[in-house]
Structure 1
Amino acid sequence: MKKKLTDIYLKTVKAPEGTRLDVYDAEVPGLILRVTDSGTKTFAYKYKIKGTDKQARVTIGPYPEVTLDAAREKARGYRAQQRNGEDPRLEKMAKVAITTQVATLTFGEVCDEYIEKYSKVQIDSWKNDVQLLRRPRDKFGRRPIESLTDDEFATFLEEMAEDTPVQANRTQSKLFQVFKWAKKPGRKYVKVNPLEDLDHFGKEEPRERVLDDSEIVTLWHGLYDPDCPGDDSVKEALRLILSTMVRPGQATGALRTEIPELKGKEPLWHIPKLRVKKRRDIIVPLNDVAVGIIERQLKNEEQIVVFPSRFEEREEIQRNSLSQALTGRPKKRMGIREFLKMDHFTPHDLRRTAATLARRAGAPRPDVKATLDHIEGDVTDIYDKYNMLPEKTAVENILGNELKRIMGAKL
């Protein structure tokens, strides 16, 4: 969002719980105020790298330590550098190199640089990195990165694992990568990697969870309860997984343009390789249950994403939003599972449940496997993306009919 920043606004602005807010200053182009739900407020300057379509971000500093006037002055200086053909990042990197014995970058600043220079360049799903680093950034973001210890991370991850063991392990792995990157020659922001000798704290059980019919009814209808926590986009994305077998990240990233003939006789969902394992395009036939979900979500002709985030008008919800909605935030916000009094299950368990329903209703195993997009690595499998559409269509229709039977056609 864009707004003319004022001191009153800086003092009072808050980010909605579970997210962060980026506010672009209307007075100085490129100046951003980033606000986290923990109350951290940081100025940064965002700009387009000359000769490319990529954008870079340079952290200016935290508010109120850095005043609005000082942030604007710094941003204007960066704009002047750009007009002279210079890259503002080089100045900051040079300062870090010169002052490394006296001061160091904060953990939050290193995370920003890691996302901009590594994740966005190397990883298609870089937004997952942003989500994985959110909680450690809220905890340690203002601390000099060299001051962080293995004991602190051990305590942090151990506490996280008590509620979300799988997420704790994913976060730990990402933190290890960040510190490994920060330790490399040319940066050397840290001398040691405090995650190097830590064992994983989260105990991950084998994924075998399948919801029974009564649980499916409880979940499906419970998501319509106006008191049920979670945004409508998140709830409908959970239903779409259960009615199509797609992966959670494929559901949350769905775009209108990927389903060009939604109202046709045999609507097809073209999922690009960006959101597919093995990085190749796939096609998912849609049954009438899935079509109904998508039609409910598309509110107007201008809507681009099927499941928009309430925080970013043109941005989709994140894959992690599904898990967070199911779990909630201990002692802060109730999750969907707790509200519906259901045993633990994950978004991916809904995909497994959907496959089980289709098999139970008579869908052949090889056809279900094709619908799940499970391949063995054979060259033929990889290039067979357009084949088996009739079989996959039959599987999806069997799944839709089974859901209607379980629900008594009240979807």
Structure 2
Amino acid sequence: MTSTALTVIPPTVTILEPLPKPARRGGVILTDRICQKRVTKRTKVYDRKAPGLYVSILPTGVATFAFKFTDRTTGKQRSTTLGTYNPETFTVEDARSKVYALKALDPATLAASLTTQKTLAAKRGRTVDDIIAERIAWMKAPTKKPDGEMRSRIESWETVASHLRRFLSPRLGKKLATDVTKNDIAELSGDIVAGRHGGKPSVSNARHMRRAASGLFNWAAEAGRDYVTASPCVNLPKLDPEHPRTRVLSEDEIRIFWHGLDRKDLPWDRRTRLALKFELVTMLRSSELLPAHRCELFDLDGEHARFDVPLKRVKKRRVIQQPLSSLAVEIIREALASKAQQFVFESPVYPGQPLHRKAMGTALRGTKHETCRGKTKTAGLCELLGLKPFTPHDLRRTAATLAGDLGFDDAAIAKCLDHAVSKKGDVIVPTVTGRVYNHSKRMKEKRAVLDGIAAEIRRIIGTAAKPDHAALAA
């Protein structure tokens, strides 16, 4: 008889209590050093000190804090992003503080807070290029100005946009705006000064970049946007001072310049040359005088000729009433070739339009053109007349120096230059006085200065004033 082995099957064991969950991997006391570690794959490290807090570290080096918890209203697990690690603006201690604050809230308030934080997290996930594009759209949006016209909110927006696109975007454009630090701005600034950014070394461009970046990040941090928590453009190292221009034409240079502009063999059109004379005589800026319109001229045949520059063309956005000397009136009469001409300095290329704002600078400097045969150059007026290079703005400085040599005080000269005056002699005048209360144009003082300059120029160039035929006929 064959024996059969019996297999005894043990009874099923019923587990009454759940097994303890394995400890979360990496449950340690989080430190900034852990957040800065490099990893080969995404790694989560939970904090033992503030339960629920963890940091997610990516191979790219980005470390993001989050809070995992059980929603008491639904019983489900939820998590919310707290922010991206930044050694200067958002550290482990900052993340813990946020967790402690969230835990102290009641369920309803916590849910509302998390919704708000989710919205902020979406906003703060924007790149620098994103906020540059939005900033430019905001700057050029039309708004009503004090004179009643609709113009761009920031009228110099094109210049600011150029600085943002040329300097900030190539280096930091793809970076999250919240990740930009003051060290990034300082490093970019130093590279612009040293010429390591791909352009010429320039302290001025570094200053332009800083100003544009500061405006961008301050705007991005405003309530309602909250794209960043704070601007990184603070406590930056000081830039080397820029040396102000001191170029002033001597009497011999004024004589050569004035008579040289009357030569018939020059490649630059007559109205551009007359505009250069007009800047020396009136002390106005190029952008103020070049679009001069017939309707802005008053009493050319009388004793009180003047040119009213509308505020939209003035640097400080205030109307300039500039007296016109007899020499300035002569220039205007020659420039206005016909009664149908509306702009005093009309473009030879685009009839019915004023000269381009850079026309005078280009004429003095000259141009270079790329052609199929190579580069061609048109010599500038400075080169053609044998003068040391200067800019249209140097003509304003030359006129102001002539006025100073004639004995006029700085306050009167400043009025002609449209500069703010806060001090007269030893008396300090409150800024609000001139800005809000005293709107006098000081026409008598300005006319005396400009008539004195015109008389001095006539002496230098050796020509007398032309007779006023209209006055003689009267």
Aligned to 1:383: 438
| AA matched with 1:155 | D
Structure 2 residue 231 is the aligned partner of structure 1 residue 177 = no
Alpha-carbon displacement from aligned partner over 1:329-351 (angstroms, at most 9, x marks no partner): 89987766566564464443322
Aligned to 2:463: 409
Q: Is the 8 A contact 1:161 1:202 kept in 2?
A: no
Match of 2:328 among 262, 269, 290: 290
Alpha-carbon displacement from aligned partner over 1:201-250 (angstroms, at most 9, x marks no partner): 67422454422112223443455668878776655443222101234443
After superposition, residues 303-382 of structure 1 pair within 5 angstroms as 303-307=341-345, 342-343=387-388, 345-361=390-406, 367-368=412-413, 370-373=415-418, 375-376=421-422, 377=429, 379=433
Aligned to 2:252: 214
Aligned to 1:83: none
Aligned to 2:159: 131
| AA matched with 2:327 | V
In 1: Cα distance, 2:238 partner to 2:142 partner: 24
Match of 2:449 among 395, 404, 411: 395
DSSP-derived class of the 2:249 partner: coil
Q: Is the 8 A contact 1:157 1:172 kept in 2?
A: no
In 2: Cα distance, 1:225 partner to 1:403 partner: 18
Structure 2 residue 143 is the aligned partner of structure 1 residue 115 = no
DSSP-derived class of the 1:130 partner: helix
In 1: Cα distance, 2:356 partner to 2:153 partner: 10
DSSP-derived class of the 2:308 partner: strand
| AA matched with 1:134 | S
In 2: Cα distance, 1:191 partner to 1:404 partner: 61
DSSP-derived class of the 1:385 partner: coil
Structure 2 residue 276 is the aligned partner of structure 1 residue 238 = yes
Structure 1 residues 165 and 305 mapped into 2: Cα distance closer, same or farther (>3 Å)?
farther
In 1: Cα distance, 2:241 partner to 2:266 partner: 29
In 2: Cα distance, 1:224 partner to 1:299 partner: 16
The alpha-carbon deviation at position 402 of structure 1 amounts to: 1.7
Q: Is the 8 A contact 1:269 1:284 kept in 2?
A: yes
Give the RMSD, CA atoms, in angstroms. Answer: 5.1
Alpha-carbon displacement from aligned partner over 1:253-286 (angstroms, at most 9, x marks no partner): 5333221333444311123444557655442211
Greater CA drift, 145-154 or 279-288: 145-154
In 1: Cα distance, 2:206 partner to 2:272 partner: 22
The alpha-carbon deviation at position 197 of structure 1 amounts to: 6.3
Structure 1 residues 152 and 143 mapped into 2: Cα distance closer, same or farther (>3 Å)?
closer
In 1: Cα distance, 2:201 partner to 2:276 partner: 21
DSSP-derived class of the 2:298 partner: coil
Structure 1 residues 126 and 275 mapped into 2: Cα distance closer, same or farther (>3 Å)?
same
| AA matched with 1:355 | A
Q: Is the 8 A contact 2:139 2:153 kept in 1?
A: no
Alignment gaps of 5+ in structure 1: 1-96
Structure 1 residues 345 and 239 mapped into 2: Cα distance closer, same or farther (>3 Å)?
same
| AA matched with 2:405 | R
In 1: Cα distance, 2:400 partner to 2:127 partner: 55
In 2: Cα distance, 1:165 partner to 1:104 partner: 23
DSSP-derived class of the 2:253 partner: helix
TM-score by length of 2: 0.49
Alpha-carbon displacement from aligned partner over 1:149-202 (angstroms, at most 9, x marks no partner): 645565346549957754663454234323433454555667886765655767
- In terms of fraction of residues, the more helix-rich structure is 1
DSSP-derived class of the 1:266 partner: coil
In 1: Cα distance, 2:415 partner to 2:135 partner: 39
Q: Is the 8 A contact 2:138 2:153 kept in 1?
A: no
| AA matched with 2:219 | W
Q: Is the 8 A contact 1:229 1:339 kept in 2?
A: no
After superposition, residues 235-274 of structure 1 pair within 5 angstroms as 235-274=273-312
Q: Is the 8 A contact 1:246 1:372 kept in 2?
A: yes
Structure 2 residue 191 is the aligned partner of structure 1 residue 155 = yes
The alpha-carbon deviation at position 299 of structure 1 amounts to: 5.0
In 1: Cα distance, 2:263 partner to 2:409 partner: 35
Structure 1 residues 170 and 227 mapped into 2: Cα distance closer, same or farther (>3 Å)?
farther
| AA matched with 2:162 | R
Alpha-carbon displacement from aligned partner over 1:350-370 (angstroms, at most 9, x marks no partner): 222112223434657665455
The alpha-carbon deviation at position 124 of structure 1 amounts to: 8.2
Alignment gaps of 5+ in structure 2: 1-120, 177-183, 371-376, 423-428, 466-474
DSSP-derived class of the 2:307 partner: strand
Give the share of equivalent positions with the same residue, in percent. 30
Q: Relative contact order: is structure 1 or structure 2 higher (C-alpha 8 Å, sep ≥ 6)?
A: 1
In 2: Cα distance, 1:214 partner to 1:352 partner: 16
In 1: Cα distance, 2:383 partner to 2:239 partner: 24
